């Protein structure tokens, strides 16, 4: 059986495993993959019809033309809304969260995730709970308005700039790469440290449904992915990943971004803008650290040029160093050695999902069979991180 067929089977199984008891918002009840796609197409044949009620709450903004669908979104559907010449602001971003993964309609996902993202953006607003963490150096987009009944969020259009994955393909210096890693590490470290042991934030950002989905979609499939990658210790890998996934269901330590990979970082001339916060959760910081490290490692492994590989490595080293510094004396309380080991398990799990799993399609290993040399290399690195986290050097900069 080839990987494409296996991925389709994964999706059908996950659609059953992750089906919520009820679905609210734009689409209700049960639906098939084709039905989900058809619902989306019908729903947004004329997006402006659905947006008009929301945009009525922004009288200073007057849309012109049709919403421009943006590419790259995996979980949601996103559009750029261009305004007339006298509109304030000139453009906006609208995001709709369907009750499934936009790129995999077979897999249901709680649409209320958009409420978490809206809370995050509001929290970073002036006077918000998180206002002291962000700056022009690094911050999320500004909150504009949320239409709860439509699961539709309108936010600042930060710029038509490259995300970090695209930025790596361009010609940039090592110094620029180091600055990006340093800025992100400081920002994520401050987020984790500021939010640690704050019951109010734990209640506000309890996104447990997403963690249950991640257990089913990611950690619960590692055994299958390991078999697909021809790893001899598939059973042990699966057990270790599931154990970590179950740990993530317990009360957390700090507010995490939840989806810290390169497309979530927009590189502008004014600073970095961190987008796509719908997976944010009061959870374990190891998910953020392991996730970003895994994606940078894959960009090193699959880099198109030596410069891109070097810059990805520089970003990772600078990120970890700055993150460790930002936690300061609270490092052991927030992450500690146990958290470093957890980061390695998530690191390995994410790599397996991207090389032979449900999320291989459209990413760096798209189309490569499980026995391909590059997939085998990545799978072995993943296995080492999951089963022997104390022996890997990926996170040495954390001390």
| Cβ-based neighbours of 359, under 8 Å, separated by 6 or more | 74, 353
Q: Are 164 and 105 in the same domain?
A: no
pLDDT at residue 7 in the model: 58
Residues 265/184, Cβ–Cβ less than 8 Å: yes
| Residue 146, Cβ density class (10 Å: 0-12 exposed, 13-18 middle, ≥19 buried) | buried
In a domain, 7, yes or no: no
Q: Are 151 and 185 in the same domain?
A: no
Show the DSSP H helices in the chain as ranges.
3-17, 33-43, 47-55, 113-123, 164-169, 174-195, 199-204, 208-217, 222-228, 234-247, 286-301, 306-327, 331-334, 336-355, 373-387
Q: Are 96 and 215 in the same domain?
A: no
Q: Are 256 and 376 in the same domain?
A: yes
Q: Are 186 and 304 in the same domain?
A: yes
In a domain, 136, yes or no: yes
Q: Are 49 and 184 in the same domain?
A: no
The residue from 136, 157, 178 where one domain ends is 157
Number of domains in the chain: 2
| Cβ-based neighbours of 107, under 8 Å, separated by 6 or more | 11, 14, 15, 18, 100, 101, 217, 358
pTM above 0.85, yes or no: yes
Q: Which of 131, 231, 196 is nearest to 328 (CA)?
A: 196
Regions of the chain with pLDDT less than 50: 8-9, 12-13, 15-37, 39-41, 44, 47
Q: Are 152 and 200 in the same domain?
A: no
Encode pLDDT of 151-199 as tens digits.
999 999 999 999 999 999 999 999 999 999 999 999 999 999 999 999 9
Q: Are 136 and 197 in the same domain?
A: no
In a domain, 256, yes or no: yes
* Both structure tokens of 87: 């509109």
Q: Are 285 and 322 in the same domain?
A: yes
| Domain containing residue 66 | 22-157
pLDDT at residue 26 in the model: 28
Residue with tokens 């607003």: 125
Q: Are 247 and 368 in the same domain?
A: yes
Q: Are 80 and 153 in the same domain?
A: yes
Q: Are 353 and 371 in the same domain?
A: yes
In a domain, 4, yes or no: no
In a domain, 177, yes or no: yes
In a domain, 9, yes or no: no
pLDDT at residue 258 in the model: 97
pLDDT at residue 21 in the model: 33
């Amino acid at each position: 059986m080839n990987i494409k067929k296996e991925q389709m089977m994964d999706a059908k199984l996950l659609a059953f495993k992750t089906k919520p008891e009820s679905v609210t918002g734009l689409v209700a009840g049960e639906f098939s993959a084709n039905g989900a796609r058809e619902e989306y197409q019908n729903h947004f044949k004329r997006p402006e019809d659905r947006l008009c009620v929301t945009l009525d709450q922004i009288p200073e903004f007057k849309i012109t033309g049709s919403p421009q669908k943006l590419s790259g979104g995996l979980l949601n559907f996103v559009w750029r809304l261009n305004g007339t010449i006298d509109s304030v602001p000139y453009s906006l971003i609208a995001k709709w969260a369907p009750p499934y993964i936009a790129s995999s309609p077979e897999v249901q996902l709680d649409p209320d995730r958009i409420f978490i993202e809206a809370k995050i953006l509001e929290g970073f607003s002036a006077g918000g709970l998180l206002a002291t963490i962000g700056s022009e150096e690094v911050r999320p987009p500004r909150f504009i308005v949320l239409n709860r009944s439509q699961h539709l969020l309108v936010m600042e259009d930060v710029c038509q700039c490259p995300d970090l994955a695209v930025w790596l393909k361009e010609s940039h210096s090592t110094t620029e790469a180091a600055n990006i890693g340093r800025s992100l590490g400081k920002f994520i470290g401050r987020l984790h440290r500021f939010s640690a042991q704050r019951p109010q934030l734990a209640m506000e950002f309890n996104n447990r449904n997403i963690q249950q989905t991640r257990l089913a979609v990611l950690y619960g499939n590692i055994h299958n992915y390991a078999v697909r990658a021809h790893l001899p210790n598939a059973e042990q890998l699966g057990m270790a990943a599931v154990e970590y996934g179950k740990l993530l269901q317990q009360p957390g330590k700090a507010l995490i971004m939840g989806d810290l990979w390169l497309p979530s970082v927009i590189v502008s001339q004014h600073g970095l803008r961190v987008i796509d916060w719908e997976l944010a959760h009061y959870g374990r910081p190891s998910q953020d650290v392991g996730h970003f490290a895994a994606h940078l490692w894959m960009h090193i492994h699959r880099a198109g040029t030596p410069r891109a590989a070097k810059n990805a490595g520089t970003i990772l080293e600078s990120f970890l160093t700055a993150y460790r510094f930002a936690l300061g004396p609270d490092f052991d309380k927030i992450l500690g050695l146990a958290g470093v080991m957890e980061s390695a398990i998530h690191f390995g799990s994410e790599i397996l999902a991207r090389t032979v799993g449900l999320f291989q399609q459209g990413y760096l290993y798209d189309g490569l069979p499980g026995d391909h040399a590059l997939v085998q290399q990545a799978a072995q690195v993943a296995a080492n991180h999951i089963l022997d986290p104390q022996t890997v050097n990926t996170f040495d900069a954390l001390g």
